[in-house]
Amino acid sequence: MFDTGNTGFMLVATSLVMLMTPGLAFFYGGLVGRKNVLSIMIQSFVSMGWTTVLWWAVGYSLCFSGDVGGVIGNLNNFCLHGISPDTAFTGTAKIPLLVFIAYQMMFAIITPALITGAFTNRVKFPAYFIFLTAWLLFVYFPAVHMIWGGGILQQWGVLDFAGGIVVHAIAGMAALASVFYVGRRKIKDAGPHSIPLVALGTGLLWFGWYGFNAGSELRVDNITGLAFLNTDVAASFAAMTWLFLAWIFEKKPKFLGLLTGSVAGLATITPAAGFVSTDIAVLIGITASAVCYMAVNLKNKLDWDDALDVWGVHGVGGILGVLMLGLFASKGINPGGANGLFHGDPSFFVKEFVAVVALSIYAFGFTYLALMLINLVTPVKTSESEEELGLDETLHGEAAYLHNI
């Protein structure tokens, strides 16, 4: 009944995407000071646990079961009701539905975790927990349904191969809204305390991204291979571009810049990985680094305290990738895709533009409003004394290192 090859591949891809969230924890953990390592890492690991609970209870059903107004699903599969090990995925891949559910769950886990890098050192844990729940229910689940679950944007013809809109654009814009709400850190962070830890996180993210992008084909075919190669090509060209930009403008080839550039390239190729040629993946990688590098510098000039550049890398990268998909998508590369503006269909570019702008604005607005409302229930912002001592000790009573200096 099931294709064992495709099923095995999707289980591996699911495992790779799962590994990205611990990778993100290491990536973010290395970028903060020694007193706040655990407080940022626990936010990613809590998403692994709590998002799984929500996904099992209502998330999968709201994303992929039925349709209510083209915006959200229904609760027919509440607590995975009606789904057995023999239930087949209704798409073209002959895999168990349970495997698809697990794969999509890993996307749900990492998306809100991305946001946490923006407000590091400044948000209390109870507020984060409420925010995580609300954001999944009212931003992520509707976005998935609208674009991947048969909702209004998918019906309109919007494409997003692996999450340029659904993951990176909405997380990046939510991150920017959180920065505006919580304001600047009261105590200046010492900055990255362990670039090797950042490198470890980047390696895990890069490795996991093959499952993120190539796995989004949901089976093994020529497009799977294309998405896999495009992922690596874009990341590599972006990493080297950022390295050279730092070398030119900052006078030294920065390792942290190379690592950041690779993530920018990975985020930007995500929506287009299975819809464009490898030549275009090269262009996307180079453009991603140049644009995201400028975005990070703009953020610094405007004095926005996006601590770990979530908006500049994931938000800007995700939006850029969707727009470049609208320009360069080709049915000659993927007959199941679309033709972009440069292949004769300007309407497709318009659809991609409208979708990414609309959902980005919604994610920004909801995030800001949600934090305001959460603050009426429990304080969102940490105090100056908590920042001074470090959130590891004040919020969690733990320390990442034996001697915290």
Query: Treating both helix axes as pointing N-terminal to C-terminal, what angle do 255-269 and 195-214 enclose, rounded to 10 degrees?
Result: 20
CB 99 within 8 A of CB 7: yes
* Closest listed residue to residue 336, CA positions, set 225, 223, 229: 223
Query: Rounded distance, CA 57 to CA 373, Å?
Result: 24
Question: CA angle, corner 312, sides to 29 and 289, nearest 5?
Answer: 100
Contacts of 294 (CB under 8 A, 6+ apart): none
Cα-flanking dihedrals φ and ψ of residue 3, to 5°? Answer: -80, 110
Cα–Cα dist 270/101, whole Å: 20
| Structural contact between residues 395 and 125, judged by C-beta atoms closer than 8 angstroms | yes
Q: Residues 284-325: pLDDT tens digits?
A: 999 999 999 999 999 999 999 999 999 999 999 999 999 999
**How far apart are alpha carbons 345 and 348 in whole angstroms?**
6
Three-class secondary structure of residue 88 per DSSP? strand
* CA end-to-end span of the chain: 59
* DSSP β-bridge partners for residue 72: 68
CB of 276 within 8 A of CB of 330?
yes
- pTM for the whole thing? 0.96
The span from the CA of 388 to the CA of 392, in Å, is: 11
pLDDT by residue, tens only, the chain of 405 residues: 899 999 999 999 999 999 999 999 999 999 999 999 999 999 999 999 999 999 999 999 999 999 999 999 999 999 999 999 999 998 877 999 999 999 999 999 999 999 999 999 899 999 999 999 999 999 999 999 999 999 999 999 999 999 999 999 999 999 999 999 999 888 887 779 999 999 999 999 999 999 999 999 999 999 999 999 999 999 999 999 999 999 999 999 999 999 999 999 999 999 999 999 999 999 999 999 999 999 999 999 999 999 999 999 999 999 999 999 999 999 999 999 999 999 999 999 999 999 999 999 999 999 999 999 999 999 999 999 998 898 989 999 898 887 644
Domains present along the chain, CATH in parentheses:
4-396 (1.10.3430.10)
Q: Are 315 and 175 in contact (CB under 8 A)?
A: yes
Q: What are phi and psi of 205, to 5 degrees?
A: -65, -50
pLDDT tens-place string over residues 344-368: 999 999 999 999 999 999 999 999 9
Question: Cα(90)–Cα(85) distance, rounded to whole angstroms?
Answer: 14
